[in-house]
Each structure stands twice: as structure tokens, then as C-alpha cells.
Structure 1
Amino acid sequence: MSVPLFNKLMPGLFLILSSLVLPIAWADAEINPAYQTHCASCHGADRLGGTGPALLPGNLDRLKRPDAIKTITEGRLATQMPAFGTKLTAQEITSLAELIYAPLAKTPTWGMDEIRTSRVEYAKTGSLPDKPAFKADPLNLFVVVELGDHHATILDGDKFEPITRFATRYALHGGPKFSPDGRYVYFASRDGWIAKYDIWNLKLVAEIRAGINTRNLAVSSDGRFAMVANYFPHTLVALDTRDLTPIRVIDVKDDGGKSSRVSAVYDAAPRKSFIAALKDIPEVWELSYDDKAMPDKTAFAPRRLKLDDYLDDFFFDPAYDHVIGSSRGGQGQVVNLNVGRKIADVALPGLPHLGSGISWRYQDQTVMATPNLKEGVVSVIDMTSWKTIKQIPTLGPGFFMRSHERTPYAWVDVFNSSKNRDVIQIIDKKTLELVKELKPSPGKVAAHTEFTRDGKYAVVSVWENDGELVIYDAKTLEVVKRIKMNKPSGKYNVYNKITRSEGTSH
């Protein structure tokens, strides 16, 4: 079978093959008709997760049973979890809660042997030409994730024309990451598949399944390693980026042996390390890839920083000396990575989305700003005193905030609003005032602004199956072009990502 044909068939083939590869342990879920009807499509017929997280006792330590019943009944804010209170009886909801706290008859194993066996290589390392197969600027490309039919588009950021479009795994999650030269892009899917794609040659290079339920991946600043954060099993997985061969599977546990899901992992380039936040243990882990700290190249021994509270989401300061984090309970804290402890509390109301935060210079000081998943507010924090400078009211809870060094504006969506989801709001970074509201496509969800490498144009997603990219002149705020796409979500500019632009997520 040719690679292009295989790419088209991958998502469907995986759904069939995964049932053959993984040990099946879903008899308990199969006999619960409410689960099969309302839950299995997102959380998996085996409760091991899909677009939604795995529903297993070990993953629910922070969610007490009464809260689980409330979540099933009322839904969960800032997630895709809907409310079932009008569709299910109280008895059915209680039965579902009992089910998800019951252990599986047999828990699948996904360790080094299973990961290694899953690897598929489509092109040998070094076999592809070392120059782009197209004439566009390779650093001003966008990788656009289209969730509607599980594809990605490589978009020319100068002409705003697609170069190619290819199939991806089902439910990509966590944002693609790039090699330092921008040649390769790495994707992670919710069901654990990691893919390496050669942008210059427009070819898939390799894939490997690093977990069963995965949050995201990070790529080291030297391009040698990828680190994968898993919800299930409770592991971090180190990969060799040359061909995605596994290097080490790291069990995530505290001193007492309690294991934890990994909320997220990011690269801290100046430190030559990965930083991982843990879902079920109040710790942050630092895993060095510096040769001096890791002489055998395979250790990745975690440096464990113990905290007062969990970190579900976090943000780096520009120097990567501090992590600013929050939990779903809304507690904010600043962790100094050099001294290895919390040094300050941060006033962050509601549910800040720090993973989408940005920073800039404001009145001779560096500030960070974050949208809020629960409240209609953007918090602006002084990154020296850690005090709140301003709470900017918005039309509703948002999800993404973006800017660029060469634009005076920050763009924030109202993604989680009940009635203003078609609006993008523009904030003046000098005055911290809202100066304009844009409606890329009235009545349709607008989200995730990203900029060209020079900051001249802003690209917004209309997050619908009959959606589009809307390109704005970043200075005049006028529409210059529209490109039809199938539920485009994130779009990632190569240059801005590899140079760690202050206006985009890292």
C-alpha cells in the first residue's frame, strides 16, 4: 500500500486495529447501555479514553463521587463534557458514576515492549532530500490542524495558499511541535500516536504509539529528543527524534508510590530540560537532556519539585526561571525552578488558561496575560512583583490569546461564551484597553489567532465543519483573504514557534 493511500486510511484502520492490539477489558462498560450510548464515543468503549480522558479509578483520585455525579449531570466547564441531567435519570447517572470508579477486569499494559512494537517507519533516516520540494519560505509556513475530518494543511504564509493536505491520526491534541530548523513537525493524538512529518519533503517519516491516552509532547531545543506526557498509563516516554525509537519509559510516582497522570510537558530551552506538570501529585518534574547532567543519554532522571498545590496548567517567564501555574480549583502559584520551590502566590480568578498565555513589555516591565476559561476576564500580571496590574473584562470566557512582537495588539477569543463565540476582541498592549471587536464569520465560532513570521497578518480560525481561515491585516484589522477549511483549530507558524515568539504558546 502506498504511503499516501495509507495516510488516507489511517484513522479508520487504527480504530479497527487497536481493538486487536490492545487487551480488551470492557465487559463492564458493555453491559451499561447508558455508557455505550452517551460515553463510549468520547471516553472509549473500554474506558481507556479517546477524545475524552480515560475513566478509571486511578485517574479519578481528585474527583470525588458526588462531584462525578454532578459532572455527569451538569457537564464540565471549559471541556467538551456535556450535561446529561435532562437525558438520563438519577439512577442511570449514579450507575455511570459507580461504573467509572470500578477497576477494569484486566488493565492493559503499554510499556516499552508494546511501544517499540507499534513503531512504523515510512522513510529511512537520511533518505530524503535536504531541501524543500517547494518554493515558499519554509519558515513562514503554517501547519493547520483540521479537526473536521482529521487532516492537516501546510499553508504558504506569504501567498496564503495551501501547499499540501494530508490525513492525520484521530483527535490530535496538545499542538504540534517543530524541530529547531523547522523541517520536521511532530504530532500527538489523544490515543497516544506520535507522528514525525517532513515538511520539506511533504512526507510522513515515522509513527509510534507512546501511550493509550496522551496529553501532549515536547521536542528538545537541540532537536534530539521528544518527551510524551500520558494520562494512561501514568508515564512520560522519551523518544529519539531521528526515527521515533523509544529511549525510556518513566513511571510517574511520588515517594509513597502513588502514581499520577501527566498534565503537560514542555521544553525549557535555556535550561536544556523538559518541565512536566502532574495531575494527581502536587509536584513539578524537571528532566534534563543536557549531556553534562545525562552522560549516558538515556537517564532523564527527574528532579522533583514538591509544591503546595497541583499544577494543571502552567506558563514560563521569558528566562525560563519561573513556572506560573494554576489548578482547576483556581489557585495560582509561582515556582522558581532554580531554587526548586514556590516563591509567590498569584491572584488568578476563575480558571485561567495559562497554556495560552503570552508576555510583552509594558511600561518598562515584563507582564504576562492569560485568558480565562470560566470568567470573562483577561488577567495581566507583573512578572517581577507577581501582582495583578489589571483585570480586563471581556464578552465572556475565552480560550486562546495571541500576539506578536511587531504588533501593538493582543487578540483574544470568547470561545467559551454562551452567546459571543463569534467575536475576537482586540486589546491595546500599551493601554491595556479593549479597542475593537471583530466578527470573522457572524454566528460561527471564532478562535485561535496566529501571526505570520513578520507579524503583518493575523490568521483566525472559524471553528466549524464548514469553516475557514480568515486572514486580517494586523495593522488595519481589515480582512484580506478567506480560505475554506474543515473545522480548522490551531494553526502554527514555523518561525514563530522555533524562535519562541513572545506572542504565541510554547
Structure 2
Amino acid sequence: MIRTLSLVIAATLAMGAAQADPRANYLEFCADCHDANRLGGTGPALIPQTLKRMRGPKVEAVIRDGRVTTQMPGFAEDLSDAAIAELATYLKTPLEAVPPWGEEQIMASRVLDEDYTPVDAPIWASDPMNITLAVETGDHHVSVLDGDTFEVLDRFATPFAVHGGPKFDPNGRFVFIMSRDGWVQKYDIWALQQVGRVRAGLNSRNIAMSGDGKWLAVANYLPNTLTILSTEDLSVAEVHEIKGKDGTPSRVSAVYQAPPRDSFVLALKDVPEIWEVSYATYPDMNYFGGGLAHDWKIEGPVPQDTKFPIRRITTPDYLDDFFFDQAYEHVMGASRKGEDGLVIDLVIGQKVADLALKGMPHLGSGITWQHGDTTVMATPHLKDATISVIDMQTWETVKTIPTQGPGFFMRSHKNSKYVWADVFFGPNKDVMHIIDKETLEIVKSMRPVPGATVAHVEFTKDGSHALVSVWEDEGEVLVYDAETLEIVKRLPMRKPSGKYNVWNKITFEEGTSH
């Protein structure tokens, strides 16, 4: 009886402690991912500026139930309803001060490695165009793989919580890697050495490399900026404050390069706009020159106070993700509601078509290939067990392919007759679907490691092998013969996420997300 009473008292005290102090609960349950200062780590910043579109009850629901399409768990078993409500209120409370992070602070953070020694040629004998980087998020490293032998040439430390795909310069020599807390790392693949690092934001989304390799654009959640860095020395070229036409501050959902247009294209998260930022050397003052950039004129002369003029396009809805056609004249955007999509013509700056895309498509992982006399684009869905295949000429859905669960990534190669698509969410997370590119039918569903998440495929330069991640802390990269679909090598790694082949990424190889 006394022992039972003691246990009840202890449990009551523990529950009371979990309810009493929202900051203590934050430090216990949230800080590992969102940092003790609430400015973001592997997860986004949790402050009013980033939560302003989420009402209190919605924040409570996420704390209680988690988010099925992310790594955010639910805490219903750890916290009472009252504690969850208090924690939600705490997250909506402003920080005493959000540190400024402009050009001065960014430059003060820059560190160039004193022991970095440039080389005239690779110090290894592998094919420079067939190098593949494997990001290991389990212990924040990247492995540099020979794409022919799959030997690990180097394994180097990255900033904490790498987010988004690394970006290679046009020669495939330097790679730039971004972390969720805004650090950008430059690494020399030829020398197998880090060149330096700079913190371009406090909480960042992704990066994009200019077509000429001179500039790196960093999309930031906090502060609301687009930072443009010189790739040569990681110095700041410009910091653009992000505000809508009506002055509303906004985070940047994503930024990508549009090489034929000599521009970056970015989607705003809190304002229904997309921006095109020119990095061209324009020939006169009437339009942004280079590529197709002349298709859109601006009123009056190009502003003299910026090297990177901005064109703003109002969109019918908020776009959290998007995909380009091959000419980079059209943007296929996903509605935030996850119920449909649309096509924006960048030449005229207007919507020209609707897309039948239910279930929150992950357009950032979309891929294209030649199908008959047309080009099709396929995308997985984060909330629906299907893959949508769309005709890039008519914008009509060619086929909806049922899968064993919502997926996250797709990949193919021009020399492969298959598309590889994972089932990232749900009980069948260990399934990898193999889809025939001609018939659009699933011809095989593999379970290489039963019970483990398998995801994100990358091909070698020639398409002969496909690399698949076993997305576990004690995971591995599985190397498949892309024709026989048999495993030929296993590379142990710490929660390998993305793999990125130099040739596929710098040539925008068919079947690679761009």
C-alpha cells in the first residue's frame, strides 16, 4: 500500500512538473531539433515570425500528434493537454531579441581554412565526372565515393543538420553544402579539403547555384532574406530583404536556378508571389539580358543599387514547392492546401494551366523522361499513395500510379528503362517500387532491408548502377546493378540521406530532380 501510494505521488509530481514549466518542457522535448534558443536546428525556428500562419490550436495539434510527412513526432504520451497548451503559448511568445543577421554578421562568421591548398588536378585517379557524394545525417558527415569502384575517397564533417541537396559548380570541382541553421560549407573535391564556411542565415531552407557558377543563392526562413554569396570566397554579394508587394515580410520556401534565363527563381512562403532574380550581365537598361531573360521587361531603367534585379510575379495561391519544364519557361507549382497545382508562364508572368495533383505532391523530387512523342513529368505525393504522371505539353495527367504508400523521392536515368520510387511514409517504408518508363506500370516492388526505411536513389554517370539509402542511423548505401536489379555492394553509413552524382547534377541529366 505504501509503495503504491509512493508511486502515485511520484507520478503526480512528474506530471505536475511536465505541466508547470513550458520552457523546461521545450528544453526536454524540443531543443534537440529546434535548438535551445528556438532559432532552429534540424527543425525550423519556433518563434512568432515563423509560426505566424499557425493559430494556437494548430500548434497544439502538431505538438500533440506530430506531422506524418516530417520527422516531427507527437508528444501526447509525454505531455498533458494543459502542458501542450502552455507549450504552444510559449512558442508564440516573442524572443527578447532576435539577433540581427545582415551582411555585417554574415561576413563576421566567415572562416576560410588557412591550411587549404588548391591543386591543379584531382589527387585521386577516379573519373571526376563520376564522383558521388553521400550525405550522412546520422553523424553529420559526407562520404565522397568513386562512382566506378564505390571506394570511399574521403569522409568529411559538415555543418550540423545538412538540409537540401549540395550544389556543384559547373566544373564539378567545388561543392557547396548548406545546413538548416544557415551555414554554407565550400569543399574542394579535387583536393579533398574544406575551403571554408560562412553563416548566410539563422534558419535556412535551401541553396541554388547560378548557371555560370559565380553566385550562390541562400533561401532563408530567418531572417526573411535571400543571401547571395560569391562562390569564389564566400563573401556577401547582396542580401535581399523579402517582402511582398504590399510590404508583408516573408520567408523563402525554396530557391532554384533557371540557367537559360540567367536567373534564380524563388517561392515566397508567406506571400502569394514568386520572384525571379537576375544574375545576368545585361547589355542595356531596358531589360535583364542573357538567355530568355529578355522575355520580361521592367518599367524604367534597371535599378543601379543592385547587381541582382528582382521581378515579382503574383500567384493565385501560396506555392511551397515547384518544378520547371525543360526550357525553364514554365513553373509547375504545388498549392499549399495539397489539393491541386498550377502552371505559371514565366514569359508572361501569369497562370496558364491547372494541374490535377491531389495529396500534396513533392514537386522538388519530380523527374522527366521521354514518353512516346512527348515528355512526361512524374511526382510522388506526401499524403497520397500515388504517383502522378503529367504530359508536359498539355499539362494533363497521363496516369495515376497506385503505390504502397506516400513517397518522397523518385529517380531515373536516360540509359535506364526504369523509374525508382520510394514509399517513405507509413508501414511500407521498406518498399522501393520499380516502374517501367514505357508502360508506366510497377514491374517490381523490392524490400531490400525489411522494416527499414529505404529511400532516395541516385545513378552513376552512365546509369549502370543505382545507389539506394537505408535511411537508418546504422544504415547503409546499397549499390544495385540497374539492369538486373541485384545488389552488388553494400556501404555501411550513418543514416545516409541523399546521394548526388557530379555528372547528373551539373548536366541536369534526364531523370534527376533539378
TM-score (norm 2): 0.90
Residue 428, structure 1, aligned to residue 436, structure 2: yes
Q: Are residues 298 and 179 of structure 1, via their aligned partners in 2, closer, same or farther at CA, if it must alter by over 3 Å?
A: farther
1:391 alignment counterpart: 400
Q: In the alignment, which of 40, 58, 67 is matched to residue 76 of structure 1?
A: 67
1:370 alignment counterpart: 379
Residue 93, structure 1, aligned to residue 101, structure 2: no
The SS at the match of 2:128 is coil
* Residue 405 of structure 1: how far off its partner (Å): 0.6
1:142 alignment counterpart: 132
Equivalent pair of 1:305/1:341 in contact (CA under 8 Å): yes
Q: Are residues 327 and 38 of structure 1, via their aligned partners in 2, closer, same or farther at CA, if it must alter by over 3 Å?
A: farther
* Residue 478 of structure 1: how far off its partner (Å): 1.1
Distance in 2 of aligned mates of 1:412 and 1:369: 10
Residue 232, structure 1, aligned to residue 243, structure 2: no
Amino acid of the structure 1 residue aligned with 2:161: A
The SS at the match of 1:131 is coil
The SS at the match of 1:32 is helix
Larger-gyration structure (1/2) = 2
Distance in 2 of aligned mates of 1:274 and 1:211: 18
Offset from partner CA, 1:103-122 (integer Å, 9 cap, x none): 11112111111001110011
2:488 alignment counterpart: 480
Amino acid of the structure 2 residue aligned with 1:332: G
Equivalent pair of 2:22/2:83 in contact (CA under 8 Å): no
Equivalent pair of 1:123/1:204 in contact (CA under 8 Å): no
* Residue 210 of structure 1: how far off its partner (Å): 0.3
State the identity %. 55
Residue 59, structure 1, aligned to residue 57, structure 2: no
Distance in 1 of aligned mates of 2:372 and 2:414: 15
Report 1:69-218 matches (<5 A): 69-122=60-113, 128-218=118-208
Q: Are residues 416 and 376 of structure 1, via their aligned partners in 2, closer, same or farther at CA, if it must alter by over 3 Å?
A: same
* Residue 31 of structure 1: how far off its partner (Å): 5.9
* Residue 443 of structure 1: how far off its partner (Å): 2.0
Offset from partner CA, 1:122-162 (integer Å, 9 cap, x none): 1599x512210000001001011011111111000001111
* Residue 61 of structure 1: how far off its partner (Å): 2.8
Equivalent pair of 1:279/1:310 in contact (CA under 8 Å): yes
1:45 alignment counterpart: 36
Q: In the alignment, which of 248, 260, 275 is matched to residue 270 of structure 1?
A: 260
Amino acid of the structure 1 residue aligned with 2:370: R
Equivalent pair of 1:291/1:297 in contact (CA under 8 Å): no
The SS at the match of 1:95 is helix
Residue 347, structure 1, aligned to residue 356, structure 2: yes
Offset from partner CA, 1:343-364 (integer Å, 9 cap, x none): 1111111111100000111121
Equivalent pair of 1:139/1:453 in contact (CA under 8 Å): yes
Distance in 1 of aligned mates of 2:305 and 2:397: 42
Equivalent pair of 2:22/2:87 in contact (CA under 8 Å): no
Q: Are residues 309 and 95 of structure 1, via their aligned partners in 2, closer, same or farther at CA, if it must alter by over 3 Å?
A: same
Offset from partner CA, 1:32-53 (integer Å, 9 cap, x none): 2221111111112111111111
2:412 alignment counterpart: 403
Amino acid of the structure 1 residue aligned with 2:80: T
Distance in 2 of aligned mates of 1:30 and 1:227: 40
Distance in 2 of aligned mates of 1:284 and 1:123: 40
Distance in 2 of aligned mates of 1:97 and 1:466: 34
Offset from partner CA, 1:216-270 (integer Å, 9 cap, x none): 1111110000000001001000000001001111000012221111111111111
Distance in 1 of aligned mates of 2:115 and 2:143: 23
The SS at the match of 2:319 is coil
Amino acid of the structure 1 residue aligned with 2:68: L
Q: Are residues 72 and 432 of structure 1, via their aligned partners in 2, closer, same or farther at CA, if it must alter by over 3 Å?
A: same
Distance in 2 of aligned mates of 1:240 and 1:30: 45
Residue 314, structure 1, aligned to residue 322, structure 2: yes
The SS at the match of 1:35 is helix
Equivalent pair of 2:335/2:342 in contact (CA under 8 Å): no
* Residue 90 of structure 1: how far off its partner (Å): 0.9
Residue 447, structure 1, aligned to residue 455, structure 2: yes
The SS at the match of 1:458 is strand
Distance in 2 of aligned mates of 1:491 and 1:50: 22
Q: Are residues 364 and 250 of structure 1, via their aligned partners in 2, closer, same or farther at CA, if it must alter by over 3 Å?
A: same
The SS at the match of 1:139 is helix
2:11 alignment counterpart: none
Residue 494, structure 1, aligned to residue 476, structure 2: no
Equivalent pair of 1:464/1:486 in contact (CA under 8 Å): yes
1:245 alignment counterpart: 235
Distance in 2 of aligned mates of 1:200 and 1:440: 33
Distance in 2 of aligned mates of 1:124 and 1:159: 29
Provide the alpha-carbon RMSD of the alignment: 1.6
Offset from partner CA, 1:165-195 (integer Å, 9 cap, x none): 1111110001100000000000000111001
Distance in 1 of aligned mates of 2:240 and 2:491: 43
The SS at the match of 2:393 is coil
Distance in 2 of aligned mates of 1:33 and 1:69: 17
The unaligned stretches of length 5 or more in structure 2 are 1-19, 283-287, 290-301
The unaligned stretches of length 5 or more in structure 1 are 1-28
Q: Report how many aligned residue pairs link the two structures.
A: 476
Equivalent pair of 1:252/1:261 in contact (CA under 8 Å): yes
Distance in 1 of aligned mates of 2:21 and 2:114: 40
Distance in 1 of aligned mates of 2:91 and 2:22: 13
Distance in 1 of aligned mates of 2:311 and 2:50: 23
Distance in 1 of aligned mates of 2:419 and 2:198: 37
Distance in 1 of aligned mates of 2:114 and 2:447: 43
The SS at the match of 1:108 is coil
The SS at the match of 2:361 is coil
* Residue 463 of structure 1: how far off its partner (Å): 0.8
2:310 alignment counterpart: 302
